[in-house]
Structure 1
Amino acid sequence: MTEQTTHFGTNYRSLNDIRLRKAQLRTDLTKDSNKIAGLWNELMHKPKDKNTPTQRFSGAFNVGANVLDGLILTWKLYRMFGGKHASGPFNNKFSLFKKKKK
């Protein structure tokens, strides 16, 4: 953890010394507060998107391709592990996802 230092041994000789110390602590507290607020904003707020239209299209295309790939994988796993077998006149001859014969 962080180590906190305390100044118990500080000797104050007048009220003016106390006021100076208070002002110093207040400025330190303000600096720390501003630093924490800046770090919090960096952490919590997403920066504005500066992508070009081409990059946005490419990103959407990649997401679509990944979704399609996931759907195909899901269908294959479903069929492989005991899903319903498709029936119909063309499924016996022309099936993209039928089980392999052993």
Structure 2
Amino acid sequence: MTEQTTHSGPHYRTLDDIRLRKAQLLTDITKDSNRIAGLWNELMHKPKDKNSPTQRFSGVLSTGAGVLDGLILSWKLYRMFGGKHPTGLLNKRFGFFKKKKNK
């Protein structure tokens, strides 16, 4: 019986053919690596905002107002649900800082 082998890969005749193919593969690998690195950076790193100074200031102001609102809310909830009763100069002068008494 005769065996027939079909080898569809490239046939190299000399060492120069192998070196040439090796250089070609190295170039392709480098291109693919650079492309993957670029896609990875686009995926993982947030692009820098190109906002105007007015938009940045507005964002900072909005964030600051949100933080202040959260602090005030947390202070009110802390006082409402049994926190320390304030004693001090503000409590004596202004009645709205006092805790309401239930009659």
**Fold conserved (TM > 0.5)?**
yes
- Cα gap change, 1:62/1:22 in structure 2, threshold over 3 Å: closer, same or farther? same
Q: What RMSD over aligned residues (CA atoms) do the two structures have, in Å? A: 3.2
Shift of 1:9: 6.5
Q: What do the CA deviations read for 1:58-98 (whole angstroms, capped 9, x no partner)? A: 0111111011011112212221332101243345x323x84
The structure in which a higher percent of residues are helix is: 2
What is the TM-score of this pair, normalised by structure 1?
A: 0.64
**Which residue in 1 is equivalent to 2:3?**
none
**Where do 1:29-40 residues align within 5 Å?**
29-40=29-40
Unaligned runs of 5+ in 1: 1-7
Unaligned runs of 5+ in 2: 1-6
Aligned residues: 92
- Cα gap change, 1:55/1:100 in structure 2, threshold over 3 Å: closer, same or farther? farther
**Where do 1:62-101 residues align within 5 Å?**
62-87=62-87, 88-90=91-93, 93-95=95-97, 98=99
Q: Which has the larger radius of gyration?
A: 2
Identity rate, percent: 66
What is the TM-score of this pair, normalised by structure 2?
A: 0.63
Query: Greater relative contact order (Cα 8 A, min sep 6): structure 1 or 2?
Result: 1
- Partners of 1:49 and 1:12 in 2: CA distance: 53
